[in-house]
Amino acid sequence: MNKLNYPTVLKIPQLIGREIILPVTPIPKPRMTRRDKWAERPCVMRYRAFKDELRVALEDTPFPDDVLIVLFGIPMPNSWSKKKKEKMWTTAHQAKPDVDNLLKALMDAVMIEDQSIHTVFAQKVWSEEGYIRFVTYPKKQ
């Protein structure tokens, strides 16, 4: 189990493009209220910091605007034994946060308008460190 070796679990052979790996721990989008504009709830502050980190990491990277293929690596708890970590590495993450909230956070962070996304392939897996891996490919002219 190599920390720098991000697993390829999601395989979509028909769509070949450029793969981008961001060493950023995925954060789900929280339920926001009007009060969150001035109150500093911890979950909202983590989400805002996550958005800023993504925007900086993807500053010069074209983000797909019609099909989104993404793999979220969720870090395993430090309390797990080494044996359990080896067993769970790259297996499906079936606990919170929900994949739809992770997608909302990702798309809201990097896209002004996400209405053009019409197809989404997403998966979340256990990993040593948090990361977001997605594929961009040239749009057909």
Tell me the per-residue pLDDT of 91-121, one tens digit each, with 9 for 90 and over.
989 988 899 899 988 888 877 776 777 778 8
Tokens of 24: 């950023």
**Closest Cα partner for 99 from 12, 10, 17?**
10
Residue whose C-alpha is closest to residue 48's, from 37, 57, 35, 59: 37
What domains lie within the chain, and their CATH numbers? 18-136 (3.30.1330)
| pLDDT tens column, 19-76 | 788 888 898 888 888 887 778 888 888 888 988 888 888 877 766 667 778 899 999 9
Q: Which residue type does 52 have?
A: D
Peptide bond into 97 cis (omega under 30): yes
Question: Torsion-angle region of residue 70: left (phi > 0), alpha (psi -120 to 50) or beta?
Answer: beta
The tokens describing 72, both together, are 């979220």
**The overall pTM is greater than 0.85:** no
- Residue 136 sits at the vertex; the CA angle it makes with 135 and 138, to the nearest 5 degrees, is 145
